[in-house]
Amino acid sequence: MRIPDIIIAVDGYSSTGKSSFAKIIANEFSFLYLDSGALYRGVTLFAIENNYIDDKCTIDAEGLEKALGGLDLHFGENGTYIGDRCIEKEIRSLAVADKVSPIAAVPQVREFVDRKLHEFGSRKRVVMDGRDIGTTVFPDAELKIFMTADPMVRAQRRAAEMQAKGENADIETVLKNLQERDYIDSHREASPLAKADDAIVLDNSGMTIQDQLEWLKNIIAERFCQA
Ligand code: CDP
């Protein structure tokens, strides 16, 4: 299926499989995939390692803002990098997941990430996943999907994913983390997680990735491929 040059925004709750879905979409339609959450996770790792956030999640926002000027955070061959150090594994840990939502609520951090996302989005044929892509980052995106799923299903999927990578993850801890993140993400002042008015909701609790792709192809055929 050939689709026009558009931006696809995939937003939604934590661990709903946004990034897996966005990757499949990118692969299917030869789009560039951009993981905005990875950038927030990268800033969080940087903040932890340089003591801009403490164990109680108190943030030195002023210090962090200044330091962001010198932070070379980017995507490379194996995922996310700071300079030439690949940080892909570290940013997926629970230690980072624990602190990412407070960091992502800092307006200066959002500006830093938004600037990077806009550099990529100036071209089309991009699929981006996050929390505010369809509402704030690319409000004009031609196709917006808002993903949700039963919290227990999400926790089971995420715990299995982490265990497969050899990380210790029990379902209760993962469930608590994703519910806390959903709460902070939905209630923060700076571009909170919300469904864009023109986004299509996808509840994938009982769906496979293949089901999701079929669902999407039907929508694309209807919207963009009419004779
Ligand atoms: O993969 P998962 O859904 O668990 O999270 P993620 O997409 O890696 O995002 C991690 C965190 O970054 C989220 O919980 C949000 O706090 C923040 N985030 C955001 O605020 N805005 C975005 N566009 C993307 C992520």
**Residues 153-198 pLDDT 10s:** 999 999 999 899 888 889 999 999 999 999 999 999 999 999 999 9
The response to whether residue 154 sits with its C-beta less than 6 Å from ligand 1 reads: no
Q: Residues 6 or more apart from 203 whose CB is under 8 A from it? A: 147, 148, 149
pLDDT score recorded for residue 32: 93
CB burial class (10 A; 0-12, 13-18, 19+) of residue 39? Answer: buried
**Closest Cα to atom 7 of ligand 1:** 37
**Residues 81-134 pLDDT 10s:** 999 999 999 999 999 999 999 999 999 999 999 999 998 877 889 999 999 999
Res. 200: pLDDT tops 70: yes
Res. 226: pLDDT tops 80: no
CA dihedral sign, ordered 137, 106, 54, 64 = positive
CA–CA distances in Å: residue 203 to residues 38, 54, 157, 175:
23, 36, 14, 18
Mean pLDDT over the full length of the chain: 94
Beta bridge partners of 74: 81
pLDDT score recorded for residue 22: 97
Tokens 């500006």 locate to 111
Distance of CA 170 to the CA centre of its chain: 22
Q: Which helix (H) or strand (E) holds 39?
A: helix 36-49
d(CA 127, ligand 1 centre) in Å: 15
The answer to whether 19 touches 34, Cβ cutoff 8 Å, is: no
All domains of the chain in start order, with CATH: 7-36+94-220 (3.40.50.300)
Q: What is the pTM of this model?
A: 0.92
The share of the chain scoring above pLDDT 90, in percent, equals 90
pLDDT score recorded for residue 227: 59
Q: Which two tokens stand for residue 128?
A: 């981006």
Q: Which atom of ligand 1 is nearest to the CA of 184?
A: 16
Determine the residue of 98, 120, 131 to mutate for testing ligand 1's pocket, defined as the one with the most ligand atoms within 8 A of the Cβ atom: 131
pLDDT score recorded for residue 74: 95
Q: Alpha-carbon distance 101 to 180, whole Å?
A: 9
Q: Which atom of ligand 1 is nearest to the CA of 92?
A: 8
d(CA 40, ligand 1 centre) in Å: 7
Q: Residues 6 or more apart from 145 whose CB is under 8 A from it? A: 8, 9, 10, 11, 12, 21, 199, 200, 202, 216
- Kindly report which listed range (46-50, 108-112, 143-147, 159-163) carries the lowest average pLDDT score: 159-163
The response to whether residue 36 sits with its C-beta less than 6 Å from ligand 1 reads: yes
